[in-house]
Amino acid sequence: MDKVKATWKIHEKLWFFALLIFSGGFYGGYTYSLRGQVFANAQTANLVIMMLSLGKGKWGRALYSLAPFTAYMVGVILSEYIGQNHKNLKKRDFEEKILLFESLVCFLVGLMPASWPDQLCQLSLSFICAMQFNIFRKAEGIPMATTFCTNHIRQMGSHLTQALFFKNEESARLAKRHGLMILAFASGVLAAVLLSKVFGLYCIFGMTILHLFLWAKLHLDNKSYEERAKKLKEEQGR
């Protein structure tokens, strides 16, 4: 197993995904606490709020909840389109650009004054959440979401059952990994709430720093990979 772990690229490692889902939780805590009480990171709750509002005849509130839902859908479509139709764009380069783009958006959101409409922040963060969710899909070969934890809860429960009642060691390992993701997500939400009390709207700058850190680690890893590949090609050509 240790040998297999060593083959994972840095953006496929569990700690990398844990930081990504931490940011997903942070986005949700940020927009709900400070920017209009909607969830930028996942859209199930927004869809429920929208339908409840429609049922009560609150058309304005329904449209309000529709905005981040639409931005999330556009983010998925755009990231999928770019990935499929720009074959000359290497996947690892695209991942780097997504992280840089996220850091830029978070920085710009932090500059938005409180007097600006909350929808601008909601749309921006929902859009980048969708792109992050759609691009980063597997951690160490395990399908994992990076902006919400519903599936992680299901997977943890399923694997715990296999581990506790049927003594499945692999399921025990997977349960721990999904448990880590749930903990990271919850920590992100809590961090957003606590930091907002100290820094207010500016606490989102923390996500700029986080994504710049992830970009730097990924960039260095990609550069090292290219150098190793180039060296190997030269050795084979001799």
Q: Tokens 């506790």 correspond to what residue?
A: 164
Q: What is the rounded CA–CA span in Å between residue 6 and residue 12?
A: 11
**What burial class does residue 166 get, using C-beta atoms within 10 Å of its C-beta: 0-12 exposed, 13-18 middle, 19+ buried?**
exposed
Contact indicator for 211, 179 with CB cutoff of 8 Å? no
Contacts of 4 (CB under 8 A, 6+ apart): none
Average pLDDT score over residue span 3-12: 72
Average pLDDT score over residue span 14-27: 98
Pair of tokens at residue 61: 């509130």
- Residue 92 above 90 pLDDT? no
Average pLDDT score over residue span 171-189: 97
Instruction: Work out the percent of the chain whose per-residue pLDDT is above 70.
Output: 94
More confident residue, 189 or 8: 189
Average pLDDT score over residue span 148-157: 95
- Residue 30 above 80 pLDDT? yes
Query: Tell me, what's the pLDDT at 134?
Result: 93
Query: Tell me, what's the pLDDT at 1?
Result: 45
Angle of helix 205-237 versus helix 91-111 axis, rounded to 10: 160
Phi-psi region of 167 (alpha: psi -120 to 50; beta: other; left: phi over 0): left
CB neighbours (10 Å) of residue 36? 17
